[in-house]
Structures are given as structure tokens and as C-alpha cells.
């Protein structure tokens, strides 16, 4: 891979050309752009090339309450849905990328994929532990929802049973574009995790660090899935179609998980209006992402020329990962 760096005001753009030979597929171009972020002293900084690697984090959930955001129990439950949704989804990412990795001839892209795989595997393991050690301990039985997620990601989105290599390749490409679209959402949510007010309102420090560490890594590797998908088969139609599938599916799964948790939370008895009001309060307090705004922001994916580096700041993500208590404890 050849790398060309040019300095522009107000940011530095690094462009890398991805070249490879793949079963009749043309070479594509992947861009890596770092936007200015803030370092620990508050100054702007643009990191150089970032090598992705998994951080072997661990958390002690013994003292974490179910309603880990003080004054915002409904928002805490809404965000905790991710502990039920993410493990199966991220294991599907890992399986799909491991399927694609042997077909990638570009060494730099393959290295980024291995870093992505390691990070996503650690995300799945970490959220899975939070699922059982926090939600279940507080009376939320996640098994019915988990079985649904297993059905979605292990059955519906499993590799094709076809023995035709062309059908296998086509199915792999479709799944890679779905992952790229999902990663657009996770980058938006990761940017929120880096810029919310959880700490200001006294939220549980372990849960704050877990979601912020995860969000920072989502911003750090936000371009990888897009680069992999374009490596195999670039095209605006594929990108747009994937987002049209992913947007309603993700919103449905998140909403379904929220209703599931609220139905089991015996400490809260709220009607639909009261729940909506609580979520609105959380959005106003910047402790809850605005899901309508998130869905709207995802429309940027449909713009010709869109590239994932437009979401979030690599510098800000790297700065948090350098200071994250769990990441600093990691061996």
C-alpha cells in the first residue's frame, strides 16, 4: 500500500491507496483522515497513523446499580440495552471478518482488520459480563432477548449454504456492507459517549468507563469496515441499500430491548408518556443520545463522497483510551 500525506488547513489528510487482486474485482481506494481533537491539556492535536489493537480491559461490577445514571433511571435502562444487543452482533462482526480476512491481499488493510477483530471480540466479552453481572443480578432475565439476538445474528445473517463460490462471495459482500452501515451508527454513538455528561451527574464510574472506552474504540476504528467493504465491492447502491436495511433494524432491536428491560424492572412503574418524558429529560441533560437525531445523522451515509472519518475525532478517542482507567489497567 502506498501512502501519501498532504498538509491542509485546518487538518491533516492522509490518503492511502488500497490495492489488491480479488476474483475479478477492481482495486479500490480507502482514505484515512484524522480531524483535530483535544489532548489532555485542551490543545488541538492530530495523531499520526493509529495501529489498532485490542485492550484487555476488565471491570468490577459488584457495586454497579441497575440505574447507573443518578436521576435518570429510564435512560440508564435504555442505554443498558446495548449490553444485551452488542455481544451477539459483535461476535457476528468477528466471524464475518475472519471469513473475509484470508481473501484480503493488502497487508495494511489485513492488519487493520486483525486489530478490528481483536477490539470487537473484547467488546463482546466485556458487554457479556456486564449483562450477567449487572442486569441479571438486579432481576433482569436477558435470556429471551438473547435467544432472539442469536437467531438474528447466527441464523438470519449466517453465511449462505450455497456451494457456488460466486454466491458465497456475493453473500459475504452483502454482510460486509451491513457491518459498514452498523459501524456508522456505532461511530455516532461512540462520539456521544466521548462527549456526554455522565460523569457530571455522578454516573457509576465503571459503567461510564466501559461505554466510553467502547465508544472511543468505535471512533478509533470507524473507517475499517467501510474500507473492507469497498475493497471487496465498492458502489453507492450497495452502501445505500445496506443503510436502508440497517436503520430500521437497529432502531427496532434497541426499542424492543428497552421495552423488555422496562417490563422486568420492578422498581419503575411508568406509562408510555412518563417514559418518553424521562427520555426527553435525559436528552436535554446530555446523558442520553437523541435517537431521532442519531437516525437523522445517519443520513450522511447516503451522501456521495461520504467517508466515516467525518464522524468523531481520532485524537479525542486516542486521548481517552490513554487515560481510561480500565485501559490503563490492561496488561
Distance CA 308, CA 259 (A): 31
Q: At what angle do helices 314-323 and 165-194 cross, to 10 degrees?
A: 70
Neighbours of 10 (CB within 10 A): 8
- Helix (H) / strand (E) element for 259: namely helix 236-264
Q: Is 286 left (phi over 0), alpha (psi -120 to 50) or beta?
A: left
What pLDDT was estimated at residue 274?
96
Q: pLDDT below 70 — which residues of the chain?
A: 1-49
Distance CA 267, CA 248 (A): 30
**pTM of the predicted model, to two decimals?**
0.85
Tell me 270's DSSP state. -
What pLDDT was estimated at residue 32?
40
Could you give the C-alpha distances from 104 to 98, 100, 163, 320, in angstroms and in order?
Answer: 11, 7, 21, 31
Q: Which residues contact 46 (CB under 8 A, 6 or more apart)?
A: 11, 12, 34, 35, 36, 37, 314, 315
What cell does 76 get? 440508564
What cell does 271 get? 406509562
Q: Is the dihedral of CA 197, 199, 201, 204 positive or negative?
A: positive
Distance CA 331, CA 329 (A): 6
Amino acid at each position: 500500500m502506498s501512502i501519501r500525506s498532504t498538509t491542509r488547513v485546518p487538518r491533516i489528510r492522509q490518503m492511502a491507496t488500497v490495492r489488491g487482486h480479488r476474483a475479478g474485482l477492481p482495486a479500490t481506494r480507502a482514505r484515512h483522515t484524522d480531524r483535530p481533537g483535544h489532548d489532555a491539556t485542551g490543545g488541538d492535536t492530530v495523531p499520526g497513523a493509529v495501529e489498532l489493537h485490542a485492550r484487555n480491559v476488565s471491570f468490577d461490577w459488584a457495586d454497579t446499580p441497575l440505574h447507573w445514571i443518578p436521576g435518570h433511571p429510564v435512560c440508564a435502562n435504555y442505554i443498558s440495552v446495548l449490553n444485551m444487543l452488542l455481544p451477539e452482533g459483535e461476535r457476528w462482526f468477528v466471524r464475518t471478518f475472519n471469513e473475509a480476512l484470508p481473501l484480503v491481499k493488502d497487508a495494511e488493510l489485513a492488519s487493520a482488520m486483525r486489530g478490528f477483530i481483536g477490539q470487537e471480540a473484547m467488546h463482546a466479552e466485556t458487554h457479556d459480563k456486564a449483562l450477567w453481572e449487572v442486569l441479571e443480578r438486579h432481576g433482569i432475565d436477558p435470556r429471551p432477548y438473547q435467544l432472539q439476538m442469536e437467531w438474528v445474528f447466527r441464523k438470519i445473517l449466517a453465511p449462505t449454504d450455497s456451494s457456488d463460490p460466486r454466491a458465497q462471495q456475493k453473500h459475504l459482500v452483502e454482510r460486509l456492507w451491513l457491518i459498514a452501515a452498523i459501524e456508522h451508527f456505532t461511530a455516532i454513538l461512540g462520539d456521544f459517549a466521548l462527549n456526554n455528561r455522565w460523569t457530571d451527574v455522578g454516573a457509576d464510574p465503571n459503567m461510564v468507563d466501559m461505554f466510553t472506552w467502547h465508544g472511543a474504540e468505535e471512533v478509533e476504528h470507524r473507517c475499517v469496515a467501510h474500507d473492507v467493504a469497498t475493497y471487496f465491492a465498492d458502489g453507492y447502491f450497495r452502501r445505500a441499500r445496506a443503510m436502508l436495511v440497517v436503520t430500521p433494524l437497529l432502531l427496532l432491536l434497541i426499542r424492543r430491548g428497552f421495552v423488555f428491560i422496562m417490563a422486568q424492572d420492578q422498581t419503575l412503574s411508568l406509562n408510555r408518556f412518563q417514559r418518553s418524558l424521562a427520555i426527553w429529560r435525559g436528552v436535554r441533560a446530555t446523558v442520553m443520545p437523541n435517537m431521532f437525531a442519531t437516525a437523522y445523522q445517519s443520513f450522511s451515509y447516503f451522501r456521495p463522497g461520504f467517508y466515516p472519518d467525518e464522524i468523531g475525532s481520532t485524537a479525542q478517542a486516542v486521548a481517552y483510551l490513554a487515560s481510561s482507567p480500565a485501559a490503563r489497567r490492561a496488561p
